[in-house]
Structure 1
Amino acid sequence: MEWALTSINPLAISIFAGLLLLVLFLRPKNSGKKPPGPKGVPIFGNLLQLGDLPHETMHKWKQTYGPVIWLKLGSVYTMVVQDAASASELFKKHDLPFADRKVPDVLTAYDFNQGTLGMNQFGGHWRVLRRLCSMEFLVNKRMNETTELRHRIRENMERWILEESAAARAQGGTGAIQLSRFLFLLAFNLVGNLMLSRDLLDAKDPESREFFDCMNKVLELAGTPNIADYLPYLKWMDPAGMKRNMTKNLGRTMKISSKFIQERLNNRKAGKFQEKKDFLDVLLEYEGDGKDGPDRITEKNINIIITEMFFAGSETTSISIEWGFAELLRSPHTFKKLREELDRVVGVNRRVEEKDVENMPYLQAVVKETLRLHPALPLLLPRNTMENTNYLGYDIPKGTQVFVNAWGIGRDPKCWEDPLAFKPERFLQSNVEYKGQHFELIPFGSGRRICVGFPLAHRVVHLTLATLVQSFDWDLGPGVKPEDIDREERLGLTLRKKNPLFIIPKKRLNI
């Protein structure tokens, strides 16, 4: 992820530099007491100081400026919260005034932000979507009803891994596979079945490739820094061309998903209904109560919600599993302890199931430790203050962007002994959970805007990690040692491994 301004048209910047200086000079001064922070430069503020991994840079600034810092990113005032105590103050006492979102310009294409749950402004429409997701889509009852679905998709992943490895060996290779690809396929098809009751991707099916490729391009654009977000006076000219590219790729994505909606509408008109309701049925049947939000959800907004669920559910889940498995491979004694727990609880004559997880405390500890060190969204999603607010004695003006550095909080030595080490054992005698109540561990956020999908992610990450350990033996490749597996990061919309895992699977279970 580049925060340098490599994609900006230099001529455009020159033309508008004078106008920007005038506008910035005439804008109201930032009055009141503000948190401390590094000094910036004219026009760009602290933007050029963030580097490729801004969450790491901000974490380092904490040593100099304290747990709450103030930045000016272009013309956007920004507050960064970086310890558990400050996060607790924000989520417990100031959650409502900070409940709005700061929306990247690319996500305003097709008014996408106005129809989503994650980036929607706080208000009636957001509350309706939140209620539908939490009460109709991701409740325990519906999660329990779809358990077998997750088991089936997991078994598809196992088969695809072995088939691709065999094909690689047949071509003279080592049989290594890129694990992240199969994890994404698993997560993508899982969301497809929950939303639309269908597999959308097959490892060998070229027809579904367009949807997959468009999704990836949209994710990439959504995670690329855009100068128009920090110098809003340039938005109209789209200097990096990012909104134009997003409009193109998001349009293709939504055109494809619109076909699924039309197919369902036509089936319903013909009297053909799903045997079991999926989330598309829930959205189509929604009728408001006349008090909060719309009376019905438009077809366009249904399309946006479905598209968002694919973004959110596929990317964050798959990278969390890859990080967890990378840490297990880096630590053979941890891998061995987890496999011993699996063999003791499950055995080798059947596959691990979701119901087994409650009896595997070490697996649960491995997942917690993974999310502590590698939250998928290191700065969570940016909040936006809806009103002037006094927070910890600081005067935070309306319209301030707010980041919560969950990555930095997970590495705070005041909360965690030996914070950089991967030690699942630290959670075995701990009651710390990641449901938003323990502020030293908030990979899914907290408060009103906590990630609504964490109950599903909880199930999928546990089941898939356990499957990878139980079902396969793994070879790192010729000459590769566990310590050679790096922790280098690449930040886009989410915090991915910079160097994906390429590893050689060997079937372990004879079932």
Structure 2
Amino acid sequence: MELALFQTMQLQILSILLFSLPIILFILTKLLKPTPQPRSPPLPGPSHLPLIGNLHHLLGQPTHHALHRLATIHGPIMALRLGRLNLIIISSPEAAKAIMKTHDLNFSDRPLTPGGKTVLYSGAGLAFAPYGPRWRQHRRICTLEILSSRRVRSFSSISQEEVSNLLSRVSSLSQSKTPVNLTGEFLSFSNAVTSRAAFGKKFRHGDKFIGGVKEFFHLGFMENLAEMFPPFLCVDVITGVRRRLRRIRRLFDEILDEIIMDHEVRRHKQGDEVDGDDQVVDFVDVLLRIRDEGGLEVPLTDVHVKALILDIFIGGTDTAAVILEWAMSELVKNPEIMKKAQEETRRVLKGCKSKMEEEDINKLKYLMLVIKETLRLHPPLPLLVPRVNMEECKVLDYVIPKGSRVIINYWAISRDPKIWEDAESFKPERFEGSSIDFKGGNFEYIPFGAGRRMCPGSTFGLANVVLLLAHLLCYFDWELPGGGQAEDLDMTELFGGTMGRKTPLSVIATPCD
């Protein structure tokens, strides 16, 4: 009897358990199930076509203009597909700050194109080196040794001499009222100063080397096409871009090897005493001294020396020339602003003395405002050098997949009417009393980038820009040839790596009284 009752109770308990099990499992599932995270919205962007992606959206206008137009439709973070390349375009200071400050370490890598691998020694320098110990070491060498304020000051005699040479050419042309091609003059000046600072006064291969740099820039678009499309389309075979890039690499190798050898011989003759305070020491001298001293975390090889010099040369020539070109263009187009800048330079330089001292530069307050506004309205690099993120991360609620190629459209940010009042007008006074500077702390104003990958050569480039502009404004008055009206000056841009003028700036110089 008791056994039957016990068995009946077991059956009842079992029945209850069997009946309750689904409910218990349901409750446990709900309790143990992780709280669902809200899904990130997909990256916005225009729809793309098969094979070419969004390439058709960029045709017919400069790339930074087209990207700005698309961003006004799709937002400050936008996904774009160019052939087989996936890009993410950033067009607001908030998004730029997230990339270059909040997630700066994650976005510290840069993509290296096949052409970069060929010509730029596989990123052995600084500009395209992968983030890591070698990059950090090269960055320290550049900021503390090659491009330090002390080193830049040591090149003042070179800059002064090249300014004097340019002024002599302009003075000669002014006697006959012959127009001065300032675009060409600025490029020659920038090339001469950078060449002498990098290689020394006796640089025999200037024209060949500069020609190779120009061809490398010109091949950029064709190289991009080859990278965008799969090999079976034979873009590389049709354009011959890789063959031409290899030829440029051989040219650079021959010239740079000879330069290093010449410096080695001179160092040996002088007992390695080439870094005294009483003489100008070029970039190659500095790098060879650091190489020979050793004690580095990553040994410095001749390949690193060549790659670093090439990075500095490429970054230091076109950029300064473009800033000078646009600054003078805006001054010619705005005579009242030019008059104000001339009055300041003539007052500070006290009758245009031949040598400008550092304290003189510090007194050129208005001229610095002119240069700041030039860099806002006409940045030499409207699209900052791309970055790549090492890990997936979230930027302004959007997930950026690992390995994304991110491009910041600084041109769009610097002309955003929500940030800048009367954004399309040239108004140097907008920076008067403002704390905004070039140092990368204001993400609405980043002409040289920001964060770990900020350009280290801005001090060197801007010193030469201020020096030459001050002398041109001090010594000469300027006007358009043929009685042209200032407001009619063509300001059309031409984007080809750097953003210069579509037509050269040709003006008449008249010596001031």
| Partner Cα distance (2:508, 2:376) in 1 | 27
In the TM superposition, what is the alpha-carbon distance from 1:149 to its structure 2 partner?
A: 2.7
Q: Give the gaps of 5 or more residues in structure 2.
A: 1-38
Whether contact under 8 Å (1:224, 1:493) holds in the other structure is no
Corresponding residue to 1:446 among 429, 435, 450: 450
Give the stretch that moved more between structures: 180-189 or 32-41.
32-41
| Partner Cα distance (1:223, 1:236) in 2 | 15
| Partner Cα distance (1:490, 1:157) in 2 | 25
In the TM superposition, what is the alpha-carbon distance from 1:138 to its structure 2 partner?
A: 1.5
In the TM superposition, what is the alpha-carbon distance from 1:244 to its structure 2 partner?
A: 1.6
The residue number in structure 2 matching 1:284 is 288
Whether contact under 8 Å (1:55, 1:378) holds in the other structure is yes
Does residue 308 (structure 1) correspond to residue 311 (structure 2)? The answer is: yes
The residue number in structure 2 matching 1:85 is 94
Corresponding residue to 1:194 among 186, 193, 197: 197
| Partner Cα distance (1:366, 1:319) in 2 | 14
In the TM superposition, what is the alpha-carbon distance from 1:309 to its structure 2 partner?
A: 1.6
The residue number in structure 2 matching 1:493 is 497
Q: Give the gaps of 5 or more residues in structure 1.
A: 1-30, 202-206
In the TM superposition, what is the alpha-carbon distance from 1:482 to its structure 2 partner?
A: 0.7
Whether contact under 8 Å (1:229, 1:235) holds in the other structure is no
Residue 397 and residue 490 in structure 1: after superposition, are their counterparts in 2 closer, same or farther (change >3 A)? same
In the TM superposition, what is the alpha-carbon distance from 1:183 to its structure 2 partner?
A: 1.1
Deviations along 1:438-489, one digit per CA (max 9) or x if unpaired, are 1111010000000010111221222222122112222311131111212211
Does residue 48 (structure 1) correspond to residue 56 (structure 2)? The answer is: yes
TM-score by length of structure 1 reads 0.86
SS in 1 for 2:81: strand
Corresponding residue to 1:373 among 374, 377, 380: 377
The residue number in structure 2 matching 1:8 is none
| Partner Cα distance (2:86, 2:352) in 1 | 58
In the TM superposition, what is the alpha-carbon distance from 1:324 to its structure 2 partner?
A: 0.7
Residues 368-407 of structure 1: pairs in structure 2 closer than 5 A? 368-407=372-411
Whether contact under 8 Å (2:223, 2:241) holds in the other structure is no
| Partner Cα distance (2:182, 2:235) in 1 | 40
SS in 2 for 1:286: helix
Bigger radius of gyration, 1 or 2? 2
Whether contact under 8 Å (2:110, 2:130) holds in the other structure is yes
The residue number in structure 2 matching 1:359 is 363
The residue number in structure 2 matching 1:468 is 472
Whether contact under 8 Å (1:80, 1:404) holds in the other structure is yes
Residue 313 and residue 111 in structure 1: after superposition, are their counterparts in 2 closer, same or farther (change >3 A)? closer
| Partner Cα distance (2:209, 2:74) in 1 | 45
The residue number in structure 2 matching 1:255 is 254
Whether contact under 8 Å (2:449, 2:455) holds in the other structure is yes
Corresponding residue to 1:334 among 317, 320, 337: 337
Give the stretch that moved more between structures: 432-441 or 114-123.
114-123
Aligned pairs, number: 466
Residues 104-115 of structure 1: pairs in structure 2 closer than 5 A? 104-110=113-119, 112-115=121-124
Corresponding residue to 1:317 among 298, 301, 320: 320
TM-score by length of structure 2 reads 0.85
| Partner Cα distance (1:381, 1:234) in 2 | 29
Whether contact under 8 Å (1:136, 1:282) holds in the other structure is yes
| Partner Cα distance (1:480, 1:199) in 2 | 42
SS in 1 for 2:477: strand
| Partner Cα distance (2:111, 2:173) in 1 | 42
| Partner Cα distance (2:475, 2:233) in 1 | 51
| Partner Cα distance (2:67, 2:241) in 1 | 26
In the TM superposition, what is the alpha-carbon distance from 1:237 to its structure 2 partner?
A: 6.8
Question: RMSD of the alignment, in Å?
Answer: 2.3
| AA partner of residue 40 (structure 1) | H
SS in 2 for 1:329: helix
| AA partner of residue 214 (structure 1) | G
| Partner Cα distance (2:232, 2:376) in 1 | 38
| Partner Cα distance (1:236, 1:299) in 2 | 35
Whether contact under 8 Å (1:365, 1:424) holds in the other structure is yes
| AA partner of residue 123 (structure 2) | Q
In the TM superposition, what is the alpha-carbon distance from 1:305 to its structure 2 partner?
A: 2.0
In the TM superposition, what is the alpha-carbon distance from 1:225 to its structure 2 partner?
A: 5.7
The residue number in structure 1 matching 2:26 is none
| Partner Cα distance (1:426, 1:179) in 2 | 27
Does residue 269 (structure 1) correspond to residue 268 (structure 2)? The answer is: yes
| Partner Cα distance (2:122, 2:474) in 1 | 41
Whether contact under 8 Å (2:326, 2:374) holds in the other structure is yes
Whether contact under 8 Å (1:342, 1:466) holds in the other structure is yes
Give the stretch that moved more between structures: 373-382 or 264-273.
264-273
